[in-house]
Structure 1
Amino acid sequence: MSIDMEVDADGVATIVMNRPERLNAMDQAAYEALSEAWIRVRDDNDIRVAVVTGAGEKSFSVGADIKSFLTTGPQPEEFFKTQQGQILNRGLEVWKPIIAAVNGYCLGGGMTLLFATDIRVAAEHATFGLSEVKRGIFAGNGGTQRLLENLPKAVAMELILTGDPITASEAERWGLVNKVVPADKLMDSAYDYAARIARNGPLAVQASKELVVRSRDVDLATGLRMEQAMTTVLKTSRDSAEGPRAFTEKRPPRFEGR
């Protein structure tokens, strides 16, 4: 499996999980390549937003390729390497917005990846599920930890305890995805979100995402103080001057991300 990545002139990165013949199931090499892709999104100042999708028309990703992991069981010494091979849904902090374009099956690890994205667009034929319990395991890599952030408790528990999937329309009804569109409109819809985000101040966008995400773990007083601190940091940037200047001059701002 390959993880393909391109970045356009507007700073929109497209990441494609490319193994359609196996429904974009992920082996160890794919997870490592995906980790490298997310690190590039995090560290490349020319990237403002990323879109992640699967190759083909059938699947976003069905998660881990179980066959490839059958002969490589977990080793005790690996347990303590907590920062090794970090991915978006396993602790890697990426404050640039991530948009998921779900083009079919979104199961297991594909679902936990979805949980770690910010905006989700789904094709009408997409299905969503955490089927791990049907195989005697559970949904790791954030599957149990992010479930209640994404779905009401009763729906979340049904999904993770039965292992049964839900449709795209059900996912939209419960707020798991932002929008459901015809398959041929999927990428256009995802790129529309990306373009609207990319036009905004990159530092302000990243600050907004980080503050919202960290608000889950702090009390209100601490969160408000974090906002004050982040405002102080952003006031030192060129973009903080460019935004008001462009507004008064009645022109689109030219943000640099600096």
Structure 2
Amino acid sequence: MSSAMQSDILTVEIKNRVATLTLNNVAKRNALSAALLDALITGLNGLDTGEVRAVILRAAPGLSVWSAGHDIKELPRGHEDPLGYSDPLERALRAIRELPLPVIAMVHGSVWGGALDLVLSCDMIVADETASFAITPVNLGLPYNTTGLLHFMGRLPMNLIKEMFFTAAPLKAAEAERWHIVNHLVPSGELDSFTMALAEGMTTKAPLAMAIIKEQLRVLADYQPIAAQVFERIQDMRRRVYESADFQEGINAFLEKRAAIFTGK
């Protein structure tokens, strides 16, 4: 059983009950534009869960950058939350996390910014030695959202989260394996076959059981109580950041390809 769908920026191929979704916006290094994210959401929502039993999310073969992260040109520049609930990236993260199928991120190349949140929202990660992972909001003066931070807290130790967020330095493949960011680190020549074998193994398991276990784990990880006044305080602090001169400077510097000069104002 094999079928395929294709657009200019994302392809979907189904073979042996495994759907492979390939990010294919090569010209923009798979920057997470609204168009690419909408295509990803459409691809995921269009899967027939009676036919498909597992999903692989990957970049087009040969790319040295798996994804460059959020398309900076599309971030709001005014007094608007750049990572609000309806942001295309947030909708894509929910689509992956709520999909009643196991999703494997197959990573060759570097993963930047919001793309790391995307990869961590998958159920597991298989990577090769070219992989690296960086989360970069401090390079832009961007206040990361609380939901996104909870995603990281559900996967990584607090000291690693702080180092990654505070330095924006990429974590190389071997370090990512040591910190259990990746489930399996395999040679580049074996990445495709290993990931497909892992996915095909899941297609033989009970799909209803896998779906409810995934949902239970999502609910248990996501629904951490927080007092209303504490949440409102955090949102007010975030608002001050995305309305700041530093945020404007971070975006301008990125677009002008220069080092940002942050003043803390």
Same fold (TM over 0.5): yes
Gaps in structure 1 of 5+ consecutive residues: 220-258
Where does residue 91 of structure 2 map in the other structure?
87
Q: CA deviation at 1:48?
A: 0.8
Contact 1:127 1:165 in 2 (8 A): yes
Task: Between 97-106 and 141-150, report the one with greater CA deviation.
Answer: 141-150
1:184-203 equivalent positions in 2, closer than 5 A: 184-203=189-208
Contact 1:38 1:87 in 2 (8 A): no
RMSD value, Cα: 2.8
Match of 1:52 among 51, 54, 57: 57
Contact 1:130 1:139 in 2 (8 A): no
Where does residue 169 of structure 1 map in the other structure?
174
TM-score, normalised to structure 2, is 0.72
Contact 1:26 1:64 in 2 (8 A): yes
CA 1:174 to 1:78, structure 2 compared with 1: closer, same or farther past 3 Å? closer
Where does residue 157 of structure 1 map in the other structure?
162
Match of 1:101 among 79, 101, 106: 106
Q: CA deviation at 1:167?
A: 0.4
For the residue of structure 2 that corresponds to 1:25, the secondary structure is coil
Q: CA deviation at 1:46?
A: 1.0
1:36 partner amino acid? T
Where does residue 249 of structure 1 map in the other structure?
none
Contact 1:50 1:99 in 2 (8 A): yes
**Cα offsets for 1:40-91 (capped at 9, x unmatched):** 23x5421111000111331221212213x16x64786999874988634146
Separation in 2, partners of 1:21, 1:180: 27
Where does residue 35 of structure 1 map in the other structure?
41
**Cα offsets for 1:204-230 (capped at 9, x unmatched):** 2112211222233579xxxxxxxxxxx
Contact 1:64 1:109 in 2 (8 A): yes
Separation in 2, partners of 1:79, 1:120: 24
1:129-168 equivalent positions in 2, closer than 5 A: 129-140=134-145, 142-168=147-173
CA 1:74 to 1:32, structure 2 compared with 1: closer, same or farther past 3 Å? farther
Where does residue 128 of structure 1 map in the other structure?
133
Task: Between 198-207 and 210-219, report the one with greater CA deviation.
Answer: 210-219
Q: CA deviation at 1:20?
A: 2.4
CA 1:28 to 1:83, structure 2 compared with 1: closer, same or farther past 3 Å? closer
CA 1:217 to 1:4, structure 2 compared with 1: closer, same or farther past 3 Å? closer
Where does residue 20 of structure 1 map in the other structure?
26
Contact 1:108 1:139 in 2 (8 A): no
Separation in 2, partners of 1:154, 1:180: 22
Instruction: Give identity over the alignment, percent.
Output: 29
1:227-246 equivalent positions in 2, closer than 5 A: none
Separation in 2, partners of 1:118, 1:158: 23
Separation in 2, partners of 1:76, 1:133: 18
Where does residue 231 of structure 2 map in the other structure?
none
The reply on whether 1:2 has 2:20 as its aligned counterpart is no
For the residue of structure 2 that corresponds to 1:144, the secondary structure is helix
Q: Which has the higher contact order (CA 8 A, sep 6+)?
A: 2
